[in-house]
């Protein structure tokens, strides 16, 4: 990337730019990448805020909305032609059985292969991939990963289609580092592994909030408070993506082919206790200091849900929050403690915990159908 502090020259492409994380990345790039000339937002479904951004919020940057499908190689290549950096965040995030394993594989693995091939074909040299903590774990054996880092040994065993697909896609991205792109220069790739992302726009938080409202302002504890679940604020995840994209050229030898957990100062808590940091100030209480139902009963209910999903599939899509996989993830300690991103590219969280919390609470309070 040419050093062009005065004249913006860079063209970025963000796949999945209309999603929860994608929107934050798009807005962060517009705020924090002064070298940006054009920002291409590629997504299967284009959002209405993009139109507003194009007319009002983008300043001198040209924002180009591209409705497209990452599973279609020609669409990806056409969108990518002439871009310098790709942030590939599009993905099918499904742990509830909404999509078939085949579709998850197609979008997450074949889609990523198409992005890599398009880089090679069009001469795009820098690729940042949104991976996931799930590439590591929790594993199917329920082993805890307690404040581990990128080098912590852990038996990564995947069976669920989502983590399987993310692990395969990440591997493709890392293996592609150094591949020659059109023009003869090497591709530089990097993968970011967020833990559970929270913040403005988080669908699962929205679901828990509405469930709490339906139960008269109450949620019932299902996971022991002692199980730690890693969480990271969406603004900090977006900032990490932008920083990696900015630093990849200068630090290609160090950063190329590397993985980084996404982290910030969010506290270590159980999944439910963490959610209560936001839902409590919005009028929702978590009932019980211990899970109200014993684990064996929850496991039975989860298995029953899985059976019902299978039986009902020909008639209706039954996708409850509780299934054997979500129960296992929520009940297994998985937290991260690392400074690799700081050492390699100077990352520091842009948002403090207090700010992340305040922004998320404000979003819940102003959500459609909220109690206020």
Ligand X SMILES: NC(=O)c1ccc[n+]([C@@H]2O[C@H](COP(=O)([O-])OP(=O)(O)OC[C@H]3O[C@@H](n4cnc5c(N)ncnc54)[C@H](O)[C@@H]3O)[C@@H](O)[C@H]2O)c1
Q: Is 162 a catalytic residue?
A: yes
Whether 224 and 163 have beta carbons less than 8 Å apart is answered as no
User: According to the binding rule CB under 6 A, does residue 168 interact with ligand X?
Assistant: no
Q: How far is the CB of 96 from ligand X (least distance, A)?
A: 12
187 binds, among ligand 5JK, ligand X, none (CB under 5 to 8 A by kind): none
Nearest to 19 by CA among 201, 161, 208: 201
Q: How far is the CB of 273 from ligand 5JK (least distance, A)?
A: 12
User: According to the binding rule CB under 6 A, does residue 138 interact with ligand X?
Assistant: no
The site that binds ligand X (CB under 6 A) totals a number of residues, namely: 26
User: According to the binding rule CB under 6 A, does residue 25 interact with ligand 5JK?
Assistant: no
What string of H, E and C letters represents the secondary structure of the chain?
A: CCCCCCCCCEEEEEECCCCHHHHHHHHHHHHHCCCEEEEEEEECCCCHHHHHHHHHHCCCCEEEEEECCCCCHHHHHHHHCCCCEEEECCCCCCCCCCCCHHHHHHHHHHHHHHHHHHHHHHCCCEEEEECCHHHCCCCCCCCCEEEECCCCCCCCCCCCHHHHHHHHHHHHHHHCCCCECCCCCECEEEEEEECEEECCCCHHHHHHHHHHHHCCCEEECCCCCCCCECEEEHHHHHHHHHHHHHHCCCCHHHHCCEEEEECCCCCCECHHHHHHHHHHHHCCEEECCCCCCCHHHHHHHHHHHHHHHHHHCCCCCCCCCCCHHHHHHHCCCEEECCCHHHHHHCCCCCCCHHHHHHHHHHHHHCCCCCCC
Nearer to ligand 5JK, 204 or 244 (CB): 204
Annotated active-site residue in 162, 198, 260, 325: 162
22 binds, among ligand X, ligand 5JK, none (CB under 5 to 8 A by kind): ligand X
91 binds, among ligand X, ligand 5JK, none (CB under 5 to 8 A by kind): ligand X
User: According to the binding rule CB under 6 A, does residue 163 interact with ligand X?
Assistant: no
User: According to the binding rule CB under 6 A, does residue 172 interact with ligand X?
Assistant: no
271 binds, among ligand X, ligand 5JK, none (CB under 5 to 8 A by kind): ligand 5JK
**Which residues 263-322 are close enough to bind ligand 5JK by CB under 6 A?**
271, 321-322
177 binds, among ligand 5JK, ligand X, none (CB under 5 to 8 A by kind): none
Q: By rule CB under 6 A, what string of x and - marks binding of each residue 42-71 to ligand X?
A: -xxx-----------------------xxx
Q: Which range in 15-23, 171-179, 326-334, 358-366 contacts ligand 5JK by CB under 6 A?
A: 326-334
Q: Which residue is nearest to ligand 5JK (CB)?
A: 196
235 binds, among ligand 5JK, ligand X, none (CB under 5 to 8 A by kind): none
What string of H, E and C letters represents the secondary structure of 160-228?
A: CHHHHHHHHHHHHHHHCCCCECCCCCECEEEEEEECEEECCCCHHHHHHHHHHHHCCCEEECCCCCCCC
Nearer to ligand X, 30 or 191 (CB): 191
329 binds, among ligand X, ligand 5JK, none (CB under 5 to 8 A by kind): ligand 5JK
Residue of 19, 138, 148, 161 interacting with ligand X (CB under 6 A): 19
User: According to the binding rule CB under 6 A, does residue 230 interact with ligand X?
Assistant: no
Q: How far is the CB of 162 from ligand 5JK (least distance, A)?
A: 7
Point out the residues that are catalytic. Answer: 162
**Interacting residues with ligand X (CB under 6 A):** 15-16, 18-22, 43-45, 69-71, 89-93, 107, 111, 130, 132, 166, 194, 196-197
């Amino acid at each position: 990337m040419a050093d062009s502090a005065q004249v913006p020259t860079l063209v970025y492409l963000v796949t999945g730019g209309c999603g929860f994380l994608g929107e934050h990345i798009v807005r962060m790039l517009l705020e924090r990448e002064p070298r940006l000339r054009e920002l291409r937002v590629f997504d299967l479904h284009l959002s209405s805020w993009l139109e507003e951004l194009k007319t009002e919020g983008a300043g001198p940057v040209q924002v180009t909305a591209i409705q497209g499908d990452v599973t279609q190689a020609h669409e990806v290549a056409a969108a990518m032609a002439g871009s310098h950096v790709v942030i590939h965040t599009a993905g099918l995030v499904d742990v509830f059985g909404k999509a078939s394993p085949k579709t998850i594989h197609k979008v997450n693995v074949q889609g990523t292969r198409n992005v890599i091939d398009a880089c090679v074909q069009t001469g795009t040299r820098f690729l940042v991939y949104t991976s996931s903590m799930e590439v590591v774990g929790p594993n199917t054996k329920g082993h805890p990963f307690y404040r581990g880092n990128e080098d912590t040994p852990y038996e990564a065993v995947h069976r669920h289609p989502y983590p399987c697909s993310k692990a395969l896609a990440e591997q493709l991205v890392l293996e592609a580092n150094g591949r020659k792109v059109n023009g003869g220069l090497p591709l530089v790739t990097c993968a970011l592994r967020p833990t559970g992302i929270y913040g403005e726009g988080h669908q699962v938080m929205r679901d828990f909030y509405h469930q709490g409202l339906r139960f008269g302002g109450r949620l019932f504890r299902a996971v022991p408070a002692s199980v730690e679940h890693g969480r990271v604020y969406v603004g900090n995840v977006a900032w990490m993506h932008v920083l990696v994209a900015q630093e990849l050229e200068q630090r290609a030898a160090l950063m190329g082919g590397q993985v980084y957990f996404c982290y910030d100062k969010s506290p270590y808590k159980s999944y439910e206790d963490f959610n209560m940091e936001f839902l409590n100030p919005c009028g929702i209480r978590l009932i019980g200091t211990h899970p109200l139902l014993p684990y064996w009963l929850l496991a039975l209910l989860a298995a029953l849900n899985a059976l019902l999903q299978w039986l009902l599939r020909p008639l209706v899509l039954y996708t409850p929050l509780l299934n054997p996989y979500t129960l296992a993830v929520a009940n297994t300690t998985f937290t991260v403690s690392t400074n690799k991103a700081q050492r390699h590219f100077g990352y520091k969280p842009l948002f403090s915990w207090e700010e992340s919390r305040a922004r998320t609470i404000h979003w819940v309070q102003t959500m459609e159908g909220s109690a206020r």
